[in-house]
Amino acid sequence: MQKRSLTIAGHKTSIALEPEFWTALEQIADDTDMSLIDLIIQIDDNRVSNNLSSSLRVACLKFFKTKKY
């Protein structure tokens, strides 16, 4: 697991994901012309789960399945 610290909506948080998911998120951000933090904020704003890490994993799977997160 790799843990990264971010600030989302003015709140500091840490997200722990497997390195492969960080790589996938970076690729999605690049493919959609977004910064990594902007992508994470957008996923956070639209999530239905209480768990941000899980929502990020699901977003990666959806993107690579449909090219939409």
Give the residue among 36, 35, 17, 29 at the shortest CA–CA distance from 63: 29
- Residue 17 above 70 pLDDT? yes
Residue that the structure tokens 């956070």 belong to:
44
Q: What is the DSSP string of 7-69?
A: EETTEEEEEEE-HHHHHHHHHHHHHTT--HHHHHHHHHHH--SS-HHHHHHHHHHHHHHHS--
* Coil/strand/helix, residue 1: coil
- Provide the sign of the torsion angle of the four alpha carbons 62, 6, 2, 15, taken in this order: negative
For residues 69 and 29, which has the higher predicted lDDT (pLDDT)?
29
Global pTM value: 0.89
In tens, the pLDDT along 24-67 reads: 999 999 999 999 999 999 999 999 889 999 999 999 999 999 87
Domains of the chain: 2-66 (1.10.3990.20)
- Residue 69 above 80 pLDDT? no
For residues 13-32, average pLDDT? 96
